[in-house]
């Protein structure tokens, strides 16, 4: 299955203003993405690389498995990039790349790169992008352990941002059950896809 890639010009007619958004099944070449938005007009290139760690709550993690609703994920990623350009007008380059499929320990599942003339904008934008991505982009994660049953993980940031503040415990529990059902459906869909390959 090919990578799902989108490339946008950040500002019409403006030099050195590109936005690269990608969902990929391949390892993410961080250095290549950094070089794509390292412009001579920029004195700062901030990066974030989220990697698979080998543990979660005392369990050994072997790898992660990601699924995404590609079309919607890219639309949400584009919204995030547009918000960055509204909040920090001097941001030049934006890269948001997220892995799908299996991601072994120590490999990056998400890479964000932002360039700007000065560090404040690029560093703030990177933080905004990862925080917003975790709350709005439809990407699901399954942890595969060295022992025991793999587990689809609820994204705490997504749950916290999508449960109405002031809701009762019963409403919050219902929301979590709906989210768990969504993960179950995504897992079943993924199993069907893997079986077909």
Cα–Cα distance list, 15 to 8, 81, 94, 105 (Å): 13, 17, 13, 38
User: Structure pTM?
Assistant: 0.78
Secondary structure class of 6 (helix, strand, coil)? strand
Structure confidence at residue 17 (pLDDT): 82
- pLDDT tens over the chain, length 197 residues: 456 666 565 554 566 789 999 999 999 999 999 999 999 999 999 999 999 999 998 999 999 999 999 999 999 999 999 999 999 999 999 999 999 999 999 999 999 999 999 999 999 999 999 999 999 999 999 999 999 899 888 666 655 665 555 555 555 554 554 555 555 555 555 544 445 55
């Amino acid at each position: 299955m090919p990578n799902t890639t989108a490339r946008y010009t950040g500002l019409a007619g403006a030099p050195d203003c590109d936005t690269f958004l990608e969902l990929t099944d391949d390892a993410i070449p961080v250095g290549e993405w950094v070089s794509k938005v390292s412009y001579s007009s920029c004195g700062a290139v901030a990066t974030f690389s989220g990697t698979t760690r080998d543990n979660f709550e005392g369990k050994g993690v072997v790898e992660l498995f990601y699924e995404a609703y590609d079309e919607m994920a890219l639309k949400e990623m584009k919204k995030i990039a547009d918000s960055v350009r509204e909040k920090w007008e001097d941001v030049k380059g934006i890269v948001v790349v997220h892995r799908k499929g299996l991601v072994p320990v120590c490999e990056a599942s998400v890479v964000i790169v932002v360039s700007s003339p000065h560090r404040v904008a690029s560093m703030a934008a990177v933080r905004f992008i990862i925080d917003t991505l975790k709350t709005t982009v439809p990407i699901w994660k399954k942890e595969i352990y060295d022992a025991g049953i793999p587990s689809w993980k609820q994204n705490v940031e997504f749950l916290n941002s999508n449960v109405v503040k002031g809701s009762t415990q019963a409403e919050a529990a219902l929301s979590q059950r709906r989210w768990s059902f969504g993960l179950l459906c995504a897992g079943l869909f993924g199993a069907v896809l893997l079986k077909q390959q």
